[in-house]
Chain A
Amino acid sequence: DSGVTQTPKHLITATGQRVTLRCSPRSGDLSVYWYQQSLDQGLQFLIQYYNGEERAKGNILERFSAQQFPDLHSELNLSSLELGDSALYFCASSVEPLREKLFFGSGTQLSVL
């Protein structure tokens, strides 16, 4: 158990809908990262938050947004969902300054039908 908590574990929804994925980092970690994993693209970095502020942005679509709250939990919002958004979404946290040594949550499996 990495100490990173993600909910829900599974999500099935229809095209055009909006969903929210939630993540709580390990106790004491200020950084939260969101990654998307699909069979063809592998693990892709979406966005990082550090202590409530956006710190780095990767291949995140405009339909997606995220935020980190004062208690350090984070939410990833996916809207106008398309079939191609079906993937495993991971949240991870790290101990600064080792931003590459990530502790991953178990992921949310999103299926868009």
Chain B
Amino acid sequence: EDKVVQSPLSLVVHEGDTVTLNCSYEVTNFRSLLWYKQEKKAPTFLFMLTSSGIEKKSGRLSSILDKKELSSILNITATQTGDSAIYLCAVYSGGSNYKLTFGKGTLLTVNP
């Protein structure tokens, strides 16, 4: 059974801190790893990483995929209160059979 584990489950930091969120996975037929941000209700897409694109950056957020270690990290620098959210990692091991497995998420709280 495909498995995605995120750590830590919860994190509290102060504005301006840098945080690193972790995601490890065990899946068959890995295709891609994705990060979503969930604040209030709907998850929103952040990054997609594949074998051909193992590093992505957008503003203060960046993510790296380590295919050897079967893991990924999401870094947020100079955190702001607006970064407070649940960050979800998901791994797509699809093909003919759709399979997108989500981790349980990391709850990030950024205090002023």
Contacts and interface: CB of A to CB of B under 8 A. Distances in A.
Contacts of B92: 99-100
Contact of B98 (A2, A56, A104): A56
Given A101-B34, A106-B41, A43 B88 contact: yes
B100 A45 contact: yes
Contacts of B100: 45, 99-100, 102
Contacts of A98: 48
Interface of B: 31-32, 34, 36, 40-45, 48, 88, 90, 92, 94, 97-100, 102-105
A56 to B, nearest CB: 4
B94 A105 contact: no
Contacts, number: 54
A25 interface: no
A42 B32 contact: no
Interface residues on A, range: 20 to 34
Interface of A: 2, 4, 42-45, 48, 55-56, 58, 88, 90, 98-107
A6 B100 CA distance: 21
Given A42-B104, A100-B32, A101-B34, A2 B42 contact: yes
Residue among A2, A42, A48 with the highest chain B CB neighbour number at 10 A: A42
A100 to B, nearest CB: 4
A-B CB proximity, top 7 nearest: A56-B98, A100-B92, A43-B102, A42-B104, A104-B42, A106-B41, A106-B42
Contact of A107 (B31, B36, B42, B102): B42
Contacts of B40: 106
15 contacts: A42-B104, A43-B43, A45-B98, A55-B98, A56-B97, A58-B99, A88-B41, A98-B48, A100-B34, A100-B94, A101-B45, A102-B36, A102-B100, A104-B42, A104-B43
